Structure 1
Amino acid sequence: MQKTALVPYAHLPRAHHDLHILTSTVDVFGAAHWLLADRVPQPGGDVLPFDALVVSVDPCGTVALTELSAVRARWPQLDRLPDGGFVVASSRARRFEDADQVQVFDALGRETSTFSVGDAIEHLLVDEAGYIWVGHFDENPVGIRRWSHTGQLAWSSDDAAIPGLFDCYALNVSGTAAWACPYTDFPLVEIRPDRTDRPVRVWANRVRGSHVVAVHDERVAFYGGYGEEGDRLAFGEITEASVEPTDIGLLTLPDGHAPGRRRVVGRGSRIYVQAEPFTTWGVLDLSS
């Protein structure tokens, strides 16, 4: 089976390797971010606010540091807002913590607002307009929602007629649009809330279990799968009603090894992959 290697993309500076990596992501503008802390919040213990450091590396390699005060997320999700602030959210929300599930920080690391988006966050991605897209997994099957940075619901999949939307396996946010590939039917879904004509389009898809998707013009790539297909990289062409498979292979780290435990982010034509110990991002660009 043909192998495709990731291209090295961004590295956490070695000066920060002594801190705990709580989570990491790549934002809509291509900058990589690591959320770091002196300790790891304990899942079974009390949530005590802790100070955290965000290390950001932009596409040119420039490093920036942002100190966040009184972070309360147990299982954090992270992304940056276009104004330089950050969103930190707890993937799991207990009833008495709902109001603080999502924290918004300004560019100086000061909390400006808190709100809840609901339990079981699978994906949290900010778009170029500053809206926060959230996809949930099946312990809270509410689908996909788009929120303002002050906690106002701006769009919901409730009335979008997306088939089999029980678990948002894959979510890709680029520009102000989103692409998704949800369980149980795994259709390819394009969501453009600002478009008055057909804001949601759906294509049938035979690739099952992917956790990240990338799209460029009429080409699409799906990464991941069940069991032995965890490293599968499947390509397809978007036709009028369906995605037609064109090729299948494996995605590897730049050195040719399998990624093992990983984080993945989909942004437009790009699939970003970060393997344990989560200090380095690699990229596959479908437009290349």
Structure 2
Amino acid sequence: MFNTLGKVNDVDVVQITGTDVDHTSGNLNMTTVSVRTNMTLVQAISRWLLTSDNLVPIDQFIPQNKTEEEVNQLNQQAFLSSESSATTAALRYLKKPLEVEIAEVVAGSPADGSLSAGDRIVSIAGEKVDSGGHAQKIVRSKKPGDDITVTVRHQGTTEEKTITLAEHPSDKKLPFLGISMTTVPTGDITVKYNLEDVGGPSAGMMFALAVIDKLSPGQLNHGKYVVGTGTIDDDGNVGHIGGIEHKARAAADDNAELFLAPKDNCADLRGKDFGAMKIVSVATLEDAVTQMDNYAAGKDLHLCE
């Protein structure tokens, strides 16, 4: 487990610069599951008997049509995507303004030569955008061959570019601009996540809660030992993750008081004994905050039952 309010190698796990950051304390822990492969039968049975490890079919983690390296790459991409969504969801929860930044321009695409990585998108086709999803929706409303205007801030200067959309490489019926985007805070605020060798999207919700805690007064955890897991999207919706029982077990073994679980994972936890730890169901970022408030105040909880 990692405490998203803590440090790793003397560096904040969630590092925010360019604005005032509130003092935080206590725990908003994210959980991880490690996977061991290529063991002999004797090694596998020994770990099953002598440790808390469980034996599961390898295709639960590494599909038959993927190599372990390919899965690790996909997990790392998912982790990076979850970081971006965590920032977006947290800042939207706090009602802070956001901008869309171009992360990459595909070589040879319609955007190549007109747009650059680091450009901030002001509008597309005359419509202001505040998320990558919104920008993509506008582009998808056009057809291959259509001209589209993209207004960007490039190195401090506002520029308007007219670009002819091409056919998408994977579906010729769809338009193709050729950029990848990320949602970022306006101004000089930056949010950086400093964890290495961790993959997958399941830390998203806890990252978002850490950002909220650091950018708002008071303690989000109310001094309680809180652990949780769940994906997050730009709108703050919390999604299903894998390995939930192992993660909840690790939290209970570490004497956590409250475990935030995705609503869609509750069925995986019913009937299991996790001691005194309360496991609550959350569907959104707002749910997670409310459940922590209710637990601290002694109010009713939405338990996974």
Q: Per residue, is there more helix in 1 or in 2? A: 2
What is the TM-score of this pair, normalised by structure 2?
A: 0.25
TM-score, normalised via structure 1 length: 0.26
- The structure that has the greater radius of gyration is 2
Which structure has greater strand proportion?
1
